Copies of this chain bind each other. A is one copy, B any other.
Amino acid sequence: MINGKIGCAVIGYGGMGSWHARKIKNEMGEYAQLVGIYDINPERCAVAEENGIHAYASREELLADERIDLITIATPNDVHKEIAIAAMEAGKNVISEKPVAMNSAELEEMIACAERCGKLFTVHQNRRWDQDYLAVKKLMEENTLGKIHRIESRVQGSRGIPGDWRNRPEHGGGMVLDWGIHLLDQALMMTQPRKLVSVYAETTNVTNEACDDGFRTTLIFDDGLSFYVEVTTSNFIELPLWYVLGENGSASVDDWDFNGRIVMVSDWENRDAVPIVAGAGITKTMAPRTDDTIEKYPLEIVQADWGEYYKNVFAYLRGEESIIVTHAQQRRLMRLVETIFESAAKNEVIRFEEI
């Protein structure tokens, strides 16, 4: 504790680490105080000092500072485990950046350490506060479209994958572990309490041979829901972020500016249409709906503040709330990631065993 507030530190002061430090310093002052950071790269420590943030001389020095209660780890993925365990053994609570670990075996070591040390160990799944995700989740919860049979969730870029450690498998690079872990977490959260039955996945290597630069996966749940998740990085034309099909309508979220819509059928029985010419043929089945049998609505925006993530962690540490991102969720998510890699490697549908 420091000045009656939760003392925070960040290990790894790169793009995400500096974002965490700034967030805690500038927006969490009511609950917490940023004590300092550490980065293995002295240049990044110098940048922190320029930003008015104390940089420790070593990780050991940071871990020895008794004012620090909570450490956010924002390093390359392959050292999350080692740092998290060292931090918890030093009596610190831990937030790890995602992916929490390289695989389930590492994750189990980290969870065992957390239980042994009696410390908080959670993961920065910030994209549970994405407005696009929350809008679709609300659609499901309110049954707006009727029974939903298909959800497609896509993030498509056109720059390949970053050229730093994120394209090296030994550091846990690749898009499954990067953006994938966000979209897959969203998929598992919003489909509760369904059980996941099977996974079919392809990984891509368009611009990068060493690790995947994208993936596509179809998750089949026990009520028949088909949930497609895609992260790709060689796409110069973008498909919608979300595409949702219910028995009585469809919805899309087209982009992060929240363009999108809901289109509901108002007259299902009115299926008969005047045939249209479509290519080298005619079709009644695929004739577009006329406006008298559908109704269009704008998407309802769900207000969300990612700061709720940190506020929950602080409230948990004060004993006031249960933690939002749990061990059980992380275990399931990591097993899904491994199942995706297995499916893609074997080109097989893999049955998912819920534990």
Contacts and interface: CB of A to CB of B under 8 A. Distances in A.
A13 to B, nearest CB: 15
B236 A162 contact: no
B204 A159 contact: no
A159 B287 contact: yes
B306 A281 contact: yes
Given A202-B226, A271-B163, A280-B306, A289 B247 contact: no
Contacts of A286: 155-157, 159, 179, 233
Interface residues of A, number: 82
Interface in A169-208: 178-179, 182, 197-198, 200, 202, 204, 206-207
Given A243-B237, A247-B234, A256 B285 contact: no
Interface string A278-310: 111111111111000010000000001010010
A237 to B, nearest CB: 4
Interface stretch (A28-36, A40-48, A110-118, A261-269): A261-269
Contacts of A238: 288
Interface in A204-228: 204, 206-207, 216, 218, 220, 226
Contacts of A272: 159
18 contacts: A19-B282, A129-B279, A130-B281, A157-B283, A159-B273, A159-B284, A159-B285, A160-B268, A160-B271, A162-B285, A179-B285, A200-B218, A200-B349, A234-B250, A236-B289, A237-B261, A237-B263, A281-B306
Contacts of A275: 15
A280 B157 contact: no
A102 to B, nearest CB: 20
Contact of A285 (B128, B233, B250): B233
A239 B237 contact: no
Contact of A206 (B202, B247, B294): B247
Nearest to A247: B206
Given A235-B250, A237-B250, A250-B236, A149 B204 contact: yes
B280 A158 contact: no
Nearest to A178: B285
Contacts of A159: 271-273, 284-287, 289
Contacts of A271: 159-160, 162-163
A353 interface: no
Which of A179, A218, A279 has the most CB atoms of chain B within a 10 A radius of its CB?
A279
Contacts of A121: none
B249 A15 contact: no
Interface in A103-160: 126-133, 149-150, 155-160
Which 10 A-B pairs have CB atoms at the shortest separation, nearest pair first? A130-B279, A280-B306, A236-B263, A129-B280, A236-B250, A157-B286, A159-B271, A237-B250, A256-B278, A126-B280
A252 interface: yes
A347 B349 contact: yes
A347 B351 CA distance: 9
A123 to B, nearest CB: 14
A145 to B, nearest CB: 9
B250 A245 contact: no
A287 to B, nearest CB: 7
Contacts of A150: 204
Contact of A349 (B158, B252, B349): B349
Given A130-B280, A202-B226, 20 more contacts: A15-B275, A126-B280, A127-B280, A128-B280, A157-B285, A157-B286, A159-B273, A161-B285, A178-B285, A179-B283, A182-B281, A200-B200, A200-B349, A236-B263, A236-B264, A236-B265, A239-B243, A347-B349, A348-B348, A349-B349
